[in-house]
A and B are shown apart, each in its own frame.
Chain A
Amino acid sequence: MKKTNRILTILIFIFLYIPMAVLIVASFNTGKDITNFEGFTLNQYAELFRDEDLLRLLGNSVLIALLATGVSVAFGTVAAVGIHSLKPKMRKVVMSLTNIPMTNPDIVTGVSLSLLFVFVGSGMLGQRESLNFWTLLIAHVTFGLPYVILNVMPKLQQMDGSLTDAAMDLGCTPVQAFFKVILYEILPGIVSGGIMTFTMSLDDFVISYFVTGSQFVTLPVEIYTYTKKPIQNKVYAMFTLLFLLIFVLMVAMNLLQLRAGRKRETMRSVSRGGIIFRRCVAGLVAACLLVGCGFLIFGNKQERITLNVKNWGMNMADGSDGTLDIVKAFEEKYPHIKVNMSYYESNEALYSQLSNGGITVDVIIPSDYMIDRMIQSNMLLELNFDNIENFKYVDEQFKNPAYDPENKYSVPYTWGTVGILYNTKHVDEADLTGWDLLWNEDYAGKILMIDNSRDAFGIAQYLLGYSINTTDKAELDACAQKLAEQKPLVQQYVMDQIYTIMENEEAWIAPYYAGDCMLMMEENEDLAFFLPQEQGFNLFTDAMCIPTCCQEKEAAELFINFLTDPEISGANMDYICYGSPISAAREHMEDYLATSEIVYPSEEVLAKGTAYAYLSEEITRYVEGLYQEATKLNAFG
């Protein structure tokens, strides 16, 4: 029996710690692939410390965690003392009230906080950007407080109540009594509550996600937008360091408690070590808080303008793989501007983020039909083309497009096609007959489907021979029916996750944007791109716009102008592998891209492509409803 217990304990430990072990091993792996260990390296760590963005994000997370811990500890301790002094009945009621936020689902807390902040910030105070550093801090304090209270309360209850009386008896005011006596008694509770708050705050995603503005983003929230590419190895290195930090903190705390316990039982002579250690911990926490506050004040004193750009993931050259770091180049040219990038997954997601409000965004790069919709929803500002003189380089065919007929709101960024990415090892060339490949039962379970209503319906419409801009509900119903038929064959509905799945050959067929397909083909040679010319395909344009929540319009126009420079545009396309709406840019692109038929299909091929137009709000909703029904809901049916 004893032996079984021991084995079970060991098994549980293995179960608990093996994920961390894998992560640590991965952080030292020379190979790019997690699946085989190719050799030991510390490069990931070196790279981590060279990556300013990651370190800044980590800094943000640590700063928020430290401040949230400090505030929670201070207020939580005071609250616990207050609650403790209540009558037992009342105390019980208050304690269960403070415990509720802890058991409340994070997502509920997050959404309600977000609502509150936007309501107070935008609605009552008239702030343009109501979600910011402070809202994030308040949110973290909200979930940290109950943990501190929960940890401090038992210490107060264990404490001999007459200690307070004794201190007051000896001349202490109640405040002095707290700092001279009670604090020492409840310190272990404060420390463990603080450490809990710190670790919870450091890795909180769900609540943070809802209360994060564009200015101040923490690491977990940013990591979430990394779904497009497999997480880089330097991130493993960072997580390893984080894990070790928490691990050491926890071990130190436990040792401290163990020593304190032993001391109480068998102390024979004086040992000031424990007290000194406690004072050190208290000092350390105080120092961290001071540094944090200093950092905050210092950090807030920005003389530079912050330009908030919201872009698709992986949609601007960032200096990796020998490409130009566009943001860096821009900031070097205009040192008074600091670019702050954040990301969205789909046009629809961008639309809802902007209409929810509470954020500041200066530049967005949505697609054609969405620009049309945003114009009609009064969500875009007219551009001042005096500040965008590079607009002259834009090819005539991209000027005055259908989605912005007078060309008042947008400057084209890229254009491209939607086709099918497939794996040549597993897919028979003979099956490449058209969009019906996505309905081919031979590949059931190996097909990915694009996860947005517009592109999905577009594919069905090409297949069924309807216009992609049809508003005929009977036709739309037929498309929905078609998509529902496809559902049993589909492995997953994806957007950015497509990268990992296709590169790892977990699926073989997926419709996606040509430029992204090029990127995946660079990673896996067996991938190829197929454009169903006969049935037709979507030709889309992404264009730069300024939303109404913009605060730095002039800087935004400078940025748009910068990106429209042929040389910059060309360098940018090298990275994102799309077509540039500026012919002159082709000269600055690498040959294989400039001549690629995927990036720049021939005129006759292009003639078969069609562009999405914005359908009415009613039809958009109708399509969205049909799409959800066809792809999501029946998963439970």
Chain B
Amino acid sequence: MSKELIRLRDLTMEFDGERILDSINLYINDHEFLTLLGPSGCGKTTTLRIIGGFLNPTSGTVTFDGEIINDVPPYKRQINTVFQRYALFPHLNVFDNIAFGLRVAKLPAEEVTERVNRMLEVVSLKGYGHRHINSLSGGQQQRVAIARALVNEPKVLLLDEPLGALDLRLRKDMQIELKRIQQAMGITFVYVTHDQEEALSMSDTVVVMDKGRIQQIGKPEDIYNEPKNAFVADFIGESNILDGVMLSDYKVRFFGRTFQCVDKGFAPNESVDVVIRPEDIDIVAPEEGHLVGVVTSVTFKGLNYDIIVEFKGFKWLIQTTDYHGEGATIGIRLNPEDIHIMHKSEYSGMFGDYSSYSAEYDELTEDAEDEEE
């Protein structure tokens, strides 16, 4: 196990009386790839800026390598940042941008040249040194920004939605590239994103945030398979969330039926949220199913179909590779490991109902929003 490098203790941040961060407690290990994941306004960027030293928390401490660094200005921290829109210096070319930090540190010119050239190779931009930064594509600018930060050999690299401005294809390539660089250089990455797929595929640890609070910390698989509350379940992937009652360990009742599950440790007859992932549901013939419903809509997604199935007035999203037409009656089976039980939370009842889900409906709301703007 790597040693702990950064610890945030009871971090609280307020702007104009509005609470942006609410007692954040978090530790980050050396060499770890940690992602702060959440919707916009959840406080993830604020957390990152506090680690970088650009903001002072209202209360709480930031510890780096055992020392409290609240009052250490950014230019004295062994931390570098890749900014959201890169923040490259427009008056300098690629080489000079990357050399900026080394020159501020007054390193000898030969060493600067050597390190910059090596870094240009790392980010696959060999021979681009003389180029003006405005003549580069978004992906190239991105790599310059990463090189400019990494060339200083920081202990921690902070990345604030670094891939947000890139198109999907490039984003996928860069994800792999970033992971490769992180592993090759053995640097701690603290990564901020609102893209759950990005978070899951790259991180060692994912921190899910909402409303200034940490909702869950864990490995990507744990976050996905064992969401702590309705918010996490909904934000990470798609989920059908139902009201249920935990009859006893391993026994949950919902939709008037009792199912076997793998969860335990709840109070007898505790009201719970039941999470069923759309891809875990097996479709069977109606007579073989635990539940029987009617398909109300079908959307082709490439890999699979998203179908909405109505069970007793409640609509579920089911992902299936087999086509079931609208109006078809189907049965489903739920295995114990497909059912995940969560305690009730403030998010209960807010997510996981697909009653209003339809492709047409999505388009309509988008149009309406356009008109409002």
Contacts and interface: CB of A to CB of B under 8 A. Distances in A.
Given A268-B135, A269-B132, A169 B89 contact: no
A267 B100 CA distance: 22
25 contacts: A162-B85, A163-B89, A165-B83, A166-B89, A167-B89, A167-B100, A169-B52, A169-B79, A169-B80, A170-B80, A170-B101, A170-B152, A171-B104, A172-B75, A173-B75, A180-B100, A180-B104, A181-B91, A184-B89, A184-B91, A263-B132, A263-B134, A267-B132, A269-B131, A270-B93
A171 B75 contact: yes
Interface of A (DSSP majority class): helix
A324 interface: no
Interface in B119-139: 130-132, 134-135
Contacts of A172: 75, 104
Interface string A182-205: 001100000000000000000000
A169 B132 contact: no
A277 to B, nearest CB: 12
Interface in B130-156: 130-132, 134-135, 148-149, 152
Interface string B23-59: 0000000000000000000000000000011100000
Interface in B72-94: 73-75, 79-81, 83-85, 87-91, 93
A169 B74 contact: yes
Nearest to B105: A171
A270 B132 contact: yes
Given A168-B75, A169-B80, A270-B93, A160 B101 contact: no
B218 to A, nearest CB: 29
A267 B87 contact: no
Nearest to A162: B87
A275 interface: yes
Interface string A479-514: 000000000000000000000000000000000000
Interface string A264-307: 10011111000100000000000000000000000000000000
A176 interface: yes
Given A267-B135, A270-B131, 11 more contacts: A165-B83, A167-B100, A168-B53, A168-B73, A169-B80, A169-B149, A170-B152, A171-B104, A184-B89, A269-B131, A275-B91
Nearest to B81: A169
Contacts of A267: 132, 134-135
Contacts of B89: 163, 166-167, 181, 184
Interface residues of B, number: 30
Contacts of B85: 160, 162
A163 B90 CA distance: 9
B328 to A, nearest CB: 53
Interface string A3-24: 0000000000000000000000
B87 A165 contact: yes
B87 A269 contact: no
B131 A170 contact: no
A191 to B, nearest CB: 14
Contact of B104 (A160, A176, A185, A269): A176
Contacts of A269: 130-132, 135
Contacts of A263: 132, 134
Nearest to A187: B91
Most B-side CB within 10 Å, residue of A166, A264, A267, A269: A166
Interface in B141-181: 148-149, 152
B87 A163 contact: yes
Contacts of A275: 91
A275 B90 CA distance: 11
Nearest to A183: B91
Per CB-CB distance, the 10 closest pairs between chain A and chain B, nearest first, are: A170-B101, A166-B87, A184-B91, A162-B87, A171-B104, A168-B74, A162-B83, A169-B81, A171-B75, A267-B135
Contacts of A162: 83-85, 87
A224 to B, nearest CB: 45
B52 A185 contact: no
A161 to B, nearest CB: 9
Contacts of A270: 93, 130-132
Nearest to A184: B91
B158 to A, nearest CB: 9
B134 A160 contact: no
A275 B100 CA distance: 16
A163 B100 CA distance: 12
A264 B52 contact: no
Contacts of A166: 81, 83, 87-89
A89 to B, nearest CB: 10
B101 A171 contact: yes
Contacts of B88: 166
A275 B92 CA distance: 9
Nearest to A264: B134
B152 A165 contact: no
